[in-house]
Structures are given as structure tokens and as C-alpha cells.
A = this chain, B = another copy of it.
Amino acid sequence: MELLQILECSPPLVRQPLDAAQAAGVATVFKALGDPVRLRILSIVASRAGGEVCVCDITDAFEVSQPTISHHLKVLKDVGLLVSERRASWVYYRLVPETLGELSALLNVPVTA
């Protein structure tokens, strides 16, 4: 199942109710955002100027173990929020802005008319 496609097909919450299938897909993505460590990782990657962050830099920014960081990165990658690329011994992660944008659109509330 392609989560980004599910997001693209899901109308804003204020427009019409989600069906069960849409809700299941969208919930998977929000669940990935429902952890403080993952949120911080995502914000580090998303706000990085160059667009790329080395795993080693992320690991250094937290007090949890390296496997824990690796696990959280996998979760964020599995839901389509991040992608990774290996170069030499290092792995770099960068944001998938489309996924984040779809999420934002899903939650968007029109200005009070």
C-alpha cells in the first residue's frame, strides 16, 4: 500500500469523513509522528539547510542508543516521510516534502468565513 497515494486521495478532515481504509493509512503516518524522538528527528532533517542529515549527526543529538535512532528512522522512512541514501560508510536522510504537505493539507482548516 502506498501511503502517499492514500494521503493524496484523502479529503481534508473538515470536508468529509474518512472511510475506514483512508483512516487506516492516514493513522499509520500520524502514528509515526506520535513519538517525541521521531518528531525531533523529523524536524532536524526537515529544517536542515542542505536538506540532508547524516545518521551520525542525529545519533549525537539524542541520549538514546544508536539502534533506537535507527529504528525511529526506519519508521519515518516506512511511512514515506523520509528517504535515505548511502554514501561510503555513511547514510544520509532527507525529507519527502510531498508527504508532509499532504498531511498539512489534510488538517487544514479554512479561514473562518
Contacts and interface: CB of A to CB of B under 8 A. Distances in A.
B18 A40 contact: yes
In the complex, the count of this chain's copies comes to 2
Interface string A78-112: 00000000000000000101001101111111001
A15 B42 CA distance: 11
Given A108-B104, A109-B104, A36 B13 contact: no
Which of A14, A38, A43, A101 is packed against the most chain B CB atoms within 10 Å?
Answer: A43
A63 to B, nearest CB: 10
Interface string A3-46: 00000000001111111100110111011111111111011101
Contacts of A14: 46-47, 95, 97, 100
